[in-house]
A = this chain, B = another copy of it.
């Protein structure tokens, strides 16, 4: 799908609050990228509001502290998975993100795989690059919270990059195995199962100069197809490098 042929709703109707770096154009959150791709899949556009990790007061209205947050008219939805379900429910005549209840359930497994296996594996490669994206106040927060989580200095988390790249490429084996048989996780057309994994690659692309994949990996070709979706929405997004 290279062009959105469905009606694009009034952008002012949607507001997406998302993480941004010191350069406010660099929107690196893997979870925000899941939502951005889901919105595009539905032919929707949102006004995008850049926030910092430490801008918690600006999303206090959402009743929780995590980005991304989508506001649609009078409704506020947080958590990328719940946002995807919301879009599917509210825009049933636009292209489906899931194609039914069973596909939604199985896609939740893929989302869990991305969040529990890929996200930590990518973090162990790009965490210092994420840090260098941030402005001063966020840097302080980020270092403290991530060092507490990992139990070591950020510099140690990303030490031995060749081993960490090998770990990530090994973790991608299920995707690689599957991509030998079909173009997208969702089959012949990309869907939310693809976007929830692709978000991890956009996180790295926006923050880091490290190439996560080998050039001849089928995962690289899949990533390329998604970078080109929706008129190159992801491929043309501002990056730090």
Contact = CB atoms under 8 A, between A and B. Distances in A.
Interface of A: 96, 98-113, 115-117, 173-175, 177-178, 181-182, 184-188, 191, 193
A175 B109 contact: yes
A173 to B, nearest CB: 4
A102 B103 contact: yes
A112 B186 contact: no
A179 to B, nearest CB: 9
30 contacts: A96-B102, A99-B102, A99-B103, A100-B103, A102-B103, A102-B187, A102-B191, A103-B103, A103-B106, A105-B184, A105-B186, A105-B187, A105-B193, A106-B106, A106-B107, A106-B110, A106-B185, A106-B186, A108-B181, A109-B174, A109-B175, A109-B178, A110-B110, A111-B178, A112-B173, A112-B174, A113-B113, A113-B174, A116-B173, A117-B174
A101 B174 CA distance: 19
Main secondary structure of the interface of A (DSSP, over half): helix
Nearest to A108: B178
Given A103-B106, A110-B110, A112-B175, 20 more contacts: A98-B102, A99-B100, A102-B103, A102-B186, A103-B103, A104-B187, A105-B187, A106-B110, A106-B186, A106-B191, A108-B182, A109-B110, A109-B174, A109-B178, A112-B173, A113-B113, A115-B177, A116-B173, A117-B173, A117-B174
